[in-house]
Amino acid sequence: MFVLLALHLVVGTAIIAAGRRLGRQAFAVAALAPLATLLWLAARSGDVLDGDSVLDSYAWVSRLGLAVDLELDGFAVAMVTVVSGIGLLICLYAVAYFAPHDGDHTDDVPQSPNGVGRLAGMMTLFAGAMLGVVLADHLITLFIFWELTSVTSYLLIGNDDTNPRARAAALQAILVTGLGGLVLLVGLIIIGQAGGTYRMSELLADAPSGGAVNAGLVCVLVGAFTKSAQAPFSSWLPGAMVAPTPVSAYLHSATMVKAGVYLVARLAPMFAMTGSWRVLVLTVGSATMVIGGWRALRQTDLKLLLAYGTVSQLGFMMLLFGTGVEDIAKAGVVLLLAHAAFKATLFMIVGIIDHAVGTRDVRRLHGLGPSWRLTQACALVAAGSMAGVPLLFGFVSKEGALEGYLEHGEFVGSAAVLTVIVLASILTFAYSARFVLGVFGVLGATDADPADVARSRDAHAPGWLFAGPSVVLTVLTVGFGLAPGRLDGLVDASTSALHPAADVVHLHLWAGFTGAFTLSIVIIGGGIVLTVLRRHVASVQRAGARITRLVPSSERSFNLLLRGTGVIARRITATVQNGSLPIYISIIVLMATVVPLIGFAGDLDGFPQLVETPVHVALVGGMVGAALAASIVRRRIAGALMLGAVGYLMAGLYVTQGAPDLALTQFAIETLSTVLFVLVLRNLPAGWTHRTPAIATPMRIGVSVAVGAAIFVFALVASDARSEVAGPQQSEVMVDNALPKGKGHNVVNVILVDFRGWDTMGEITVLVVAAAGAVSLARTGRRRDVIGPTFEEILEGYDDTAGTADERRQEVPG
Restricting to residues 786-805, name those near another protein by CB under 8 A: 787-788, 790-791, 794-795, 798, 802
Binders of another protein among residues 304 to 343 (CB under 8 A) are 304
Q: Which is nearer to another protein, 508 or 616 (CB)?
A: 616
CA distance 170 to 87: 21
Stretch that binds another protein, among 30-38, 194-202, 414-422, 633-641 (CB under 8 A): 633-641
In the complex with another protein, the residue whose CB is nearer, 119 or 296, is 296
Contact between 656 and another protein per CB under 8 A: yes
Specify the residue, 107 or 449, whose C-beta has the smaller distance to another protein.
Answer: 107
Cα 748 to Cα 404: distance, rounded to the nearest angstrom: 86
Q: How far is the CB of 292 from another protein (least distance, A)?
A: 13
With CA atoms as reference, report the closest residue to 149 among 119, 117, 191, 181. Answer: 181
- Binding of residue 620 to another protein (CB under 8 A): yes
Close Cβ partners of 376 (under 8 Å, ≥ 6 residues apart): 368, 439, 440
What is the smallest separation between the CB atom of 645 and another protein, expressed in angstroms?
11
Provide the residue count of the chain. Answer: 814
User: Closest distance between another protein and the C-beta of residue 520, in Å?
Assistant: 31
* Distance in angstroms (rounded) separating the CA atoms of residues 209 and 120: 44
For residues 127 and 60, the answer to whether their CB atoms sit within 8 Å is no
- Which is closer to another protein, CB of 488 or CB of 555? 555
CA–CA separation, 555 vs 560, rounded Å? Answer: 9
For residues 735 and 228, what is the distance between their CA atoms, to the nearest angstrom? Answer: 71
Residue with smaller CB distance to another protein, 13 or 580: 580
Please, what is the minimum distance in Å from the beta carbon of residue 114 to another protein? 24
In the bound complex, what is the minimum distance in angstroms from residue 363's beta carbon to another protein?
11
SS3 at position 635? strand
Q: Does 608 bind another protein (CB under 8 A)?
A: yes
Residues 200-239 that bind another protein (CB under 8 A): 235, 238-239
Q: Is the CB of 62 or the CB of 723 nearer to another protein?
A: 723
Cβ–Cβ under 8 Å, residues 633 and 674: no
Rounded (10°) CA dihedral 254, 283, 302, 91: -10
- What CA–CA distance (Å, rounded) separates 669 from 654? 14
In which element (H, E) is residue 58 found? strand 54-61
Tell me which residues in 68-87 interact with another protein (CB under 8 A): none
> Cis omega before residue 232 (within 30°)?
yes
Give yes or no for a contact between 394 and 349, defined as CB atoms under 8 angstroms apart.
no
Q: Are 342 and 385 in contact (CB under 8 A)?
A: yes
Work out whether 463 is an interface residue with another protein (CB under 8 A): no
Cβ of residue 172: shortest distance to another protein, in angstroms? Answer: 6
Give the C-alpha separation, 812 to 814, whole Å.
Answer: 7
The one segment of 49-57, 118-126, 398-406, 658-666 that binds another protein by CB under 8 A: 658-666
**Given the rule CB under 8 A, which of 133-141, 420-428, 519-527, 630-638 is the region that contacts another protein?**
630-638
Q: Which part of the chain contacts another protein (CB under 8 A), choosing from 120-128, 184-192, 476-484, 574-582?
A: 574-582
Give whichever of 205 and 680 is closer to another protein, judged by the CB atom: 680
Report the residue number, 292 or 462, with the smaller CB distance to another protein: 292
- Of 595 and 794, the one with the shorter C-beta distance to another protein is 794
Task: Please state, in angstroms and as integers, the Cα–Cα distance from residue 197 to each residue in 67, 184, 191, 218, 619, following that order.
Answer: 11, 17, 9, 19, 66
* One-letter amino acid for residue 408 of the chain: H
Residue 100 or 698 having the CB closest to another protein:
698
CB of residue 498 to another protein, shortest distance in Å: 34
Binding mask of the shown chain, residues 261 to 300, with x at each position contacting another protein by CB under 8 A: -------------------------------------xxx
What is the Cα–Cα distance from 343 to 320, expressed in whole angstroms? 18
Q: Which amino acid is at 796?
A: E
As measured in angstroms, the least distance from the Cβ of 339 to another protein is 23
Site residues for another protein, window 759-778 (CB under 8 A)?
759-760, 763, 766-767, 770-771, 773-775, 777-778
Q: Scan residues 738-757 and list those touching another protein (CB under 8 A).
A: 738-739, 744-748, 751-752, 756
Instruction: For the CB of residue 233, give the shortest distance to another protein in the complex, in Å.
Output: 13
From residue 778, alpha-carbon distances to 637, 767, 782 in Å are 20, 16, 7
DSSP assignment of 592-606: IIIHHHHHHHTT--S
Which one of 781, 800, 804, 808 is in contact with another protein (CB under 8 A)?
781
- Whether residue 681 contacts residue 572, with contact meaning beta carbons closer than 8 Å, is answered with no
The secondary element (H helix, E strand) that includes residue 94 is helix 74-97
- Provide, rounded to whole angstroms, the least separation between the CB of residue 584 and another protein: 8
112: contact with another protein by CB under 8 A? no
**179/280 with CB nearer another protein:** 179
Q: Could you tell me how many residues of this chain bind another protein (CB under 8 A)?
A: 145
Q: How far is CA 614 from the centre of its chain?
A: 66
Provide the minimum distance between the beta carbon of 747 and another protein in the complex, in angstroms, as a whole number: 4
Whether residue 515 contacts residue 406, with contact meaning beta carbons closer than 8 Å, is answered with yes
Q: Which stretch binds another protein (CB under 8 A): 96-104, 223-231, 341-349, 634-642?
A: 634-642
776 class by beta-carbon count within 10 Å (0-12 exposed, 13-18 middle, 19+ buried)? exposed
C-beta closer to another protein: residue 504 or 774:
774
Residue from 2, 657, 741, 803 that binds another protein (CB under 8 A)? 657
**Residues 149-168 interacting with another protein (rule: CB under 8 A):** 164-165, 167-168
Please, which of residues 526-565 interact with another protein by CB under 8 A? 545, 555-556, 559, 562-563
| 227, amino acid identity | K
Binders of another protein in range 668-727 (CB under 8 A): 669, 672-673, 676-677, 679-681, 683-685, 688, 691, 693-695, 700-701, 703-705, 707-709, 711-712, 714-716, 718-719, 722
66 or 695: whose CB is closer to another protein? 695
Nearer to another protein by Cβ, of 210 and 608: the residue is 608
**Distance of CA 245 to CAs 28, 302, 304, 337, 343, Å?**
17, 11, 11, 20, 12
Q: Which residues, numbered 366-385, are part of the site for another protein (CB under 8 A)?
A: none
Cβ nearer to another protein, comparing 60 with 667: 667
CB 85 within 8 A of CB 469: no
- 421 contacts 316 by C-beta, under 8 angstroms: yes
CB of residue 556 vs another protein: minimum separation in angstroms?
A: 7
Q: Which amino acid is at 566?
A: G
Q: Measured from the CB of residue 453, what is the shortest distance to another protein in angstroms?
A: 23
- Could you list the beta-strand ranges (E) of 63-116: 66-72
CB nearer another protein, residue 521 or residue 680: 680
Distance CA 493, CA 50 (A): 7
Q: Decide whether 171 or 186 has the Cβ nearer to another protein.
A: 171
